[in-house]
Structure formats: C-alpha cells, structure tokens
Amino acid sequence: MNNRKKISIIGSTGSIGTQALEVIDKLRDKFEIIALAAGSNVELLKLQAEKFRPKYIYAAKEINVEGIKTLNSLDEIASNKENDIILVACSGKVGLKPTLKAIENGINIALANKETLVMAGDIVMKKARENNVKIIPVDSEHCAIHQCIKNISQVDKLIITASGGPFLHKSAEEIKHATVKETLNHPRWNMGKKITVDSATLMNKGLEIIEAHHLFGFDYENIEVVIHPQSIVHSAIEYVDGSVIAQIGLPSMHIPIQYAITYPERFEGIKSKSFSFAEIARLDFEKPDFEKFPCIKLAYKAGKLGGTATACLNAANEEAVFAFLDRKIKVCMIYEIVRKMLDEHVLIKNPSIEEIFKVDSDVRRKTREYISSLNIK
Ligand code: MG
C-alpha cells in the first residue's frame, strides 16, 4: 500500500491546484498528499484539507484544521524529503524560492509556475542538473514537447502552438478598445485572470518560448510559434530528418497535470472520453501576426538578451496586466509599458537569485510609478 507517490502541492486552491486535486481524487491509491499550500484562500484550503487529509498545510493567512499540522513557511514543504514530487502550481514569483529549495533537496518538480523559469531559468536548470532532479512541465505546450521527445540531440526545432486567444480575428482598432470582460473571454482554456490576459496579448506565448528555451535547452532561433485555434495539437517537435511528432488531445489541463505528476507512468485517471479525429474534423494553422501581437517579439528579444532581461519582462508585464485588470490602462498599452521597461533595463548578464529578486521589485516599482504618471482616466 505504501508505494504511493508522496506529493505536495504549492498553490492548491488555484486553477491548476484544484484540477490537480481532481486528478488525485481519481487516483487515490496512487498518491499520498504530504502538504497542501495556498495563499489567501483559506476557506477552500480548509475544505481541501478536510477532504484529502494531508499531513501538513500552509497558507499565507492564519489557518487551523483539526488533526493537521500547520507549517510556517513554504520552505518547510520544499525541504521535506518525504516528498517524491512537489507540484508548483502557484502563480507569480512566490514559486521560485520553494522550487529552488526542493531541487536542492533532490525532490522532483512538476512545474506549472512559469515565473520560475522566466525569472531564473539558468539557475533553476543548472541546480536541477547538479541535483539530478527532474523538472516535468505542466504547461500544456511544454508537456506536449516533453511527451514527443525521445532523443533530444536529434531534435531540430520546437513548434509551440497558440490558440490565438480572444483577439485572434479582431482588428488592431478593436483590440485597442477591448474591455476587461472581452479580454477575459478566452475561447478555449479556462484559466486564472492574469494568464488569460497574457493569452489575449500573446505574452503568454512569449513567456512559454522562454520556458521552452530553459526546459529543453534550445536556442531561440529553433523555437517557433504557430497559431492553432482549435487547441488540439498542444505542440510539436521536428527531428533533423524532417519527421514531425506532435502531441494531440482534447484541450483539458487535467491531462498535462496528470502526466506531470504520474510521470513516467500513465493511468486512466481523469480521462473522460476517447479522442475522435472524426469529431474534430479539421485543424487550422496560421502564422502569428507579430504586428498585432508585438509582445511575442518582446519576449524573443528579452530571451536573447538573457540575464535579468526576462525577469524585467515578467515583472513589467505582470504589473501592467494588474493595472489593466484594475481598469487603469487599456490592454494595448501593456506592450508599450513592457517595451519601455525593457529598453531602460540595465542588464545583469549572470545574476544571482538575490539580484533577480532585486530586478523584479525595482522593475515592478518603476512600472507602477510610470503607470501612475500616465494619469489615465
Ligand atoms: Mg500554455
């Protein structure tokens, strides 16, 4: 009975975390939950703890559940070697430190938190190699690539698909006047607010290019983006001989989450129905319009600059997205703001983690100040 995989979830009340618990609920005999951690949603964390009975819980706010020990920090979860794997499902920079700590402790990571690699991909991947730790991507595109790759040295190119988001067929003028509600109306994926705005501007794809660069060690020239509105092909790779392998499936985050936490095994688990090519009937592909969606170009630029440029991109983007969600700026200004911050950024080529966090907070402050100075009503 006790060869169950021991797992902790950082960010159990978010979109990925709750879906991960749905997966685990179907695979109760395969998993033992060590710890569940949340930010401020203590009501939901309480319900989860009562249902799944982890050994430990942690929340950014005060929480008490009878018979379950409350921890004082995420670090305590990340340094608990009982864990076979930790699912890092929180959003934002809060995921970075516990991920590094878990890697130092030799614990495998199922990684849903983009910021970890966008902010500090070089450091994280180097540490993972040194500690022989597997980083298994949860992001559907990277999970797809992970599933396609057999021999990475024979792969020539990564092809990341993008649904195109809610603005795909809108004109630049329509995008300019898009409301928060229109922006959050994603046609394919149901996700948290921040990532849904990123999907509308295609900055999400930009962040994913940076993620792919670190995860698979590919140059930016060999990472391509293609628009694929149906979100059935989750990404593909091209081998040196021209053979292309794609991973295909219905657009549900349950599948990549389950893959990442059960890897290298596979179980029926959450699968609800069989895939039918005939039902899908057609798949469309087109080139991304870099003029209409310039954020992708910015991400390539930051990625190629390397060092702290991607942490700057991430911080400026997140602050701009928050300002948009607060209705302080229009969605089209996100690009202008991030570009300005990136242009003015003083690059550190091989930063330490402390320097990365400093860039993060400096750029955030500068971005907020700049947005206030715009004085837009
Ligand atoms: Mg994705």
**91-98, long-range: CB < 8 A, 24+ apart:** 91/11, 91/14, 91/115, 91/192, 91/194, 91/195, 92/318, 93/119, 93/357, 93/360, 94/39, 95/10, 95/11, 96/120, 96/124, 96/353, 97/353, 98/10, 98/74
Question: In angstroms, rounded to a whole number, what is the distance separating the alpha carbons of residues 302 and 365?
Answer: 19
How far does residue 140's CA lie from ligand 1's centre (Å)?
5
- The pLDDT of residue 2 is 67
Predicted TM-score (pTM) above 0.75: yes
* DSSP 3-state of 216: helix
How far does residue 14's CA lie from ligand 1's centre (Å)?
16
How far does residue 9's CA lie from ligand 1's centre (Å)?
19
Query: Tokens in use for 88?
Result: 């890092």
- The pLDDT of residue 132 is 98
Contacts of 274 (CB under 8 A, 6+ apart): none
Tell me the residues surrounding ligand 1 (ion) with CB < 5 Å: 139-141
How far does residue 23's CA lie from ligand 1's centre (Å)?
19
Question: In angstroms, rounded to a whole number, what is the distance separating the alpha carbons of residues 164 and 169?
Answer: 9
How far does residue 142's CA lie from ligand 1's centre (Å)?
7
CATH numbers and ranges of domains, the chain: 5-137 (3.40.50.720), 139-290 (no CATH), 306-377 (1.10.1740.10)
Chunked mean pLDDT (size 10), the chain, 377 residues: 89 96 98 97 98 98 96 98 97 93 98 96 98 98 97 97 94 91 80 88 97 98 97 98 97 96 95 91 96 96 98 97 95 97 98 98 98 81
How far does residue 42's CA lie from ligand 1's centre (Å)?
27
Q: Cβ of 306: how many Cβ atoms within 10 Å?
A: 18
- The pLDDT of residue 91 is 87
- The pLDDT of residue 190 is 67
